[in-house]
């Protein structure tokens, strides 16, 4: 450029300067007008910073600066940060969200944090492996009680194992909501086909990725979310779902954090110049990250992409099955086998991100088009859903210690119920329940009482263990701590609990003598089969894949079919767990200089010199798939079957109550651990007891769950060496 060109450029630049000055003056006037309007709106008694910020197109922090009275910062957030050093704060596992809870987070880029803190919502995603998930935490019970219409009470500090009181159905008009449904909310058959998502399978340890084009090796750098997304999208543009088959990149810096969950949250929210958290789009899109210690979900969108934006999920294939060392190409083949098996019954099947999402979508496509429920299944009232959430536990997990068992065991034998939950879907509660109070129950004839107890019902009962009882406990009692439930067995022990009809019937008809059961309240449903067709079709797919895994000539194809059969199992188990619908737990991150963005009632999980990570319970959503009455019914039936179940072909009773007292070592959801083998029939059908491990004695009695699992693994290896599972 010469002097003449330079001077000409200056002349052209001056008019732009003048035009910009005019526009800036006009903009300043508009901003002053907006700020004045914000101040006026802030004077409204019911105004909230979030609502005003959204309308004005500014952050909550800017609104609070103009109208200080709208500051939503919880006092506990200020107090906690004033008294804590700038380092990660340990969070109790019991106080955090249960594994599988939905926790959408704020964006990973600071510029987007304001919006995420104001709008951190997402469609709930169901629980992770519900067959091994703990019962609802105490904090969740309290939240559910509030949602159910009870007055909140000051938090009580309890020691582990202390008996707690479950909510009851209130008397009078307040109790009417517990025999009602949510207005204009039904589970209905969808009239659209799910959109398929392009997916790839990535071994984050080796960088090997499998997709439509076969296998390729990627350079993943430091394996941050940003580097993984950049590498994948460069080779496979259009990818919308990345399944990690091995490597767990979210655990890379786990040693720096008190818990795995905190390490995962930090990895998901690592700052990125090119990717930010996905805020959702469309009816089947979910917003925010899902923080889970081992099965997290990262949802991202490219920064600055408005039209045709890229939306990508990073997920663990462990949601579906344990890949057991399978390479990404074989894992992809397992998904192909799964899709083909499901397509037999569901021609429009689309594999969604998780087994739970897939399971609920497949179930919705079995809702009848004719008959009583052609218009859809009604969703229970929020009060009743809250009651089920607080009072219906999941699988039984219990370790029995000496003197209940010998200090030295003659052996440890594991019996695991094959595809157990699939056996308990043939009958479910439907419609609006009717309430039968304790006084009304007492007036019924013996035949009427027996009929009610055999009906699909959720019962509040006062239980007394009979004198002379020497066997395991039969009904769950609520306690504080990580487990949340214990099973009292000491003679004379009395407690009040809620239980399903299957468990109450087992307690009254057990082979050693009936327990004393006083019915205090009952919610009795009509009998139906809303999930039976769905379950039968999944069982058929499972049986087909399992058979192929046994007889296929190719070893790799046998493994792919086996993994696909495990995925079907996950679809049913997690689908049932998804019907339970827990209160949403929402997580977000906020910079330290904008603490007013932390929502009211939030708990600070961690913080450093830049930002805090918080969590809060956001209550129940209007989810048309929420049917906790079905989950509770299946879980109750499964717990009862661990105690006693009839094998009809042989007319033989099996289960923990059909072995001598003192032989039961532990329960783990679908499994029972004994000190001796028993000749129980096994036909490979759902619910049958499979001999899965046998460790010959003498064996020291396990004193902890970790010790039990170590002995379990040895027992499985010993049985395999001796000839394998029966």
- Render pLDDT for 641-662 as a digit per residue (tens, 0 to 9): 999 999 988 889 999 999 999 9
> What is the predicted pLDDT for the residue at 161?
64
Angle between helix 532-551 and helix 555-579 axes, rounded to 10 deg: 160
How far apart are the C-alpha atoms of 29 and 368, rounded to whole Å?
60
Q: Which residues contact 163 (CB under 8 A, 6 or more apart)?
A: 477, 478, 479, 495
Map tokens 């004379």 to a residue: 492
Q: Would you say residue 111 lies in a domain?
A: no
* Residue 307: predicted pLDDT: 56
Integer CA distances (angstroms), 583 to 110, 165, 212, 388, 616, in order: 28, 20, 38, 12, 10
Going by C-alpha positions, the residue among 114, 107, 122 that lies closest to residue 226 is 107
CA nearest to 534, candidates 365, 313, 660, 323: 365
In the 8-state DSSP scheme, what is residue 231?
Answer: H
Q: Is there a contact between 466 and 200 (Cβ–Cβ < 8 Å)?
A: no
Name the domain count of the chain.
1
Mapping DSSP to helix (H, G, I), strand (E, B) and coil, where does residue 658 land? helix
**299 in a structural domain:** no
Evaluate whether residue 138 is within a structural domain. no
**Is residue 331 included in any domain, yes or no?**
no
DSSP H or E stretch at residue 380: strand 377-380
β-bridge partners, 690: 416
- What pTM does this model have? 0.74
Q: Which domain holds residue 36?
A: 3-73
Helix (H, G, I), strand (E, B) or coil at 229: helix
* pLDDT the model gives residue 614: 73
Q: What is the pLDDT of residues 568-588, one digit of tens each?
A: 999 999 999 999 877 666 667
d(CA 644, CA 623): 35
Query: Which positions ≥6 away from 154 have C-beta within 8 Å?
Result: none
Q: In Å, what is the CA distance from 389 to each residue of 4, 378, 504, 577?
A: 79, 17, 19, 11
* Positions of the chain with pLDDT under 50: 77-78, 80-158, 283-284
Peptide linkage before 698 cis (omega within 30 of 0): yes
Instruction: Give the N- to C-terminal CA distance of the chain in Å, as an integer.
Output: 86
14 in a structural domain = yes
Report the distance separating Cα 542 and Cα 634, nearest Å.
Answer: 19
Question: Is 315 a member of any domain?
Answer: no
> What would the 3-class secondary structure string for 578-615 be?
HHCCCCCEEEEEEEHHHHHHCCCCCEEEEECCCEEEEE
What value, to the nearest 5°, has the Cα angle with vertex 75 and ends 69 and 76? 160
At residue 272, the pLDDT reads: 87
Please spell the DSSP secondary structure of 25-50, one letter per residue: HHHHHHHHHHHHHHHHHHTSTT--HH
45 within domain boundaries: yes
Assess if residue 616 is contained within a domain.
Answer: no
**Nearest alpha carbon to residue 235 among 274, 209, 196:** 209
Tokens of 209: 């990725």
Q: What pLDDT is recorded for position 281?
A: 55
Name which of 122, 166, 239 is nearest 461 in CA terms.
Answer: 166
């Amino acid at each position: 450029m010469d002097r003449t060109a330079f001077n000409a450029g200056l002349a052209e630049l001056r008019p732009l300067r003048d035009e910009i000055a005019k526009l800036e003056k006009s903009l300043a006037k508009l901003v002053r007008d907006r700020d004045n309007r914000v101040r006026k709106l802030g004077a409204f008694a019911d105004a909230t910073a979030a609502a005003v910020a959204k309308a004005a197109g500014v952050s909550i922090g800017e609104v609070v600066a103009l109208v200080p009275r709208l500051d939503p910062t919880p006092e506990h957030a200020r107090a906690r940060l004033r008294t804590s050093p700038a380092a990660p704060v340990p969070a109790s596992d019991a106080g955090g969200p249960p594994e599988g809870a939905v926790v959408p987070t704020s964006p990973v880029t600071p510029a987007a944090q304001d919006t995420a803190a104001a709008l951190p919502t997402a469609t709930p995603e169901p629980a992770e492996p519900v067959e091994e998930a703990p019962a609802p935490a105490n904090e969740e019970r309290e939240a559910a009680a509030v949602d159910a219409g009870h007055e909140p009470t000051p938090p009580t500090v309890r020691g582990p194992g202390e008996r707690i009181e479950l909510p009851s159905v209130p008397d009078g008009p307040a109790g009417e909501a517990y025999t009602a449904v949510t207005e204009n909310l039904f589970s209905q058959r969808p009239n659209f086909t799910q959109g398929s998502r392009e997916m790839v399978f990535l071994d984050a340890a080796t960088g090997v990725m499998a997709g439509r084009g076969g296998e390729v090796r990627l350079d993943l750098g430091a394996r941050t979310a940003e580097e993984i997304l950049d590498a994948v999208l460069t080779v496979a543009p259009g990818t919308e779902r990345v399944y990690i088959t091995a490597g767990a990149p979210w655990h890379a810096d786990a040693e720096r954090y008190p818990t795995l969950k905190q390490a995962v949250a930090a990895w998901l929210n690592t700052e990125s110049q090119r990717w930010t958290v996905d805020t959702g789009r469309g009816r089947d899109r979910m917003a925010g990250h899902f923080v889970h210690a081992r099965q997290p979900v990262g949802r991202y969108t490219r920064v600055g992409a408005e039209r045709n934006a890229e939306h990508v999920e990073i997920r663990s294939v462990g949601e579906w099955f344990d890949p057991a060392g399978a390479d990404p190409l074989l894992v992809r083949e397992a998904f192909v086998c799964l899709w083909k098996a499901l397509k037999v019954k569901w021609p429009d099947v689309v594999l969604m991100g998780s087994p739970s999402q897939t399971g609920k979508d497949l179930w919705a496509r079995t809702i009848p088009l004719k008959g009583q429920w052609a218009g859809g299944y009604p969703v229970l009232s929020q009060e009743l859903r809250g009651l089920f959430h607080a009072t219906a536990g999941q699988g039984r997990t219990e370790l029995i210690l000496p003197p209940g068992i010998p200090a030295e065991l003659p052996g440890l034998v594991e019996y695991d119920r094959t595809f157990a939950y699939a056996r308990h879907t043939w009958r479910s509660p439907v419609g609006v329940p009717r309430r039968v109070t304790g006084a009304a129950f007492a007036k019924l004839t013996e035949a009427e009482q027996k009929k009610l107890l055999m009906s699909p019902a959720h019962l509040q009962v006062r239980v007394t263990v009979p004198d002379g009882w020497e066997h395991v406990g039969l009904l769950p009692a609520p306690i504080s701590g990580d487990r949340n439930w214990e099973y009292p067995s000491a003679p004379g022990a009395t407690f009040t609990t809620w239980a399903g009809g299957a468990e109450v019937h087992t307690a009254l008809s057990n082979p050693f003598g009936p327990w004393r059961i006083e019915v205090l309240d009952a919610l009795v449903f009509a009998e139906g089969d809303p999930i039976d067709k769905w379950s039968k079709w999944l069982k058929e797919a499972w049986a087909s894949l399992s058979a192929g895994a046994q007889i296929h000539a190719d070893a790799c194809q046998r493994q792919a079919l086996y993994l696909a059969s495990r995925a079907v199992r996950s679809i049913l188990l997690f689908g049932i767990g998804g019907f339970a619908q827990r209160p949403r737990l929402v997580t977000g991150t906020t910079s330290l200089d904008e603490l007013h963005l932390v929502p009211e009632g939030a708990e600070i999980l961690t913080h450093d010199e830049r930002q805090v990570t918080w969590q809060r319970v956001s209550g129940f959503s209007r989810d048309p798939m929420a049917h906790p009455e079905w989950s509770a019914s299946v879980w109750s039936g499964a717990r009862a079957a661990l105690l006693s179940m009839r094998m009809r072909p042989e007319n033989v009773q099996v289960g923990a109550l059909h072995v001598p007292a003192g032989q039961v070592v532990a329960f783990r959801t679908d499994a029972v651990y004994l000190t001796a083998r028993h000749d129980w029939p096994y036909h490979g059908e759902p619910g049958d007891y499979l001999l899965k491990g046998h460790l010959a004695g003498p064996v020291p009695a396990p004193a902890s769950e970790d010790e039990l699992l170590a002995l379990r693994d040895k027992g499985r290896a010993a049985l395999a060496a001796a000839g394998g599972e029966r």
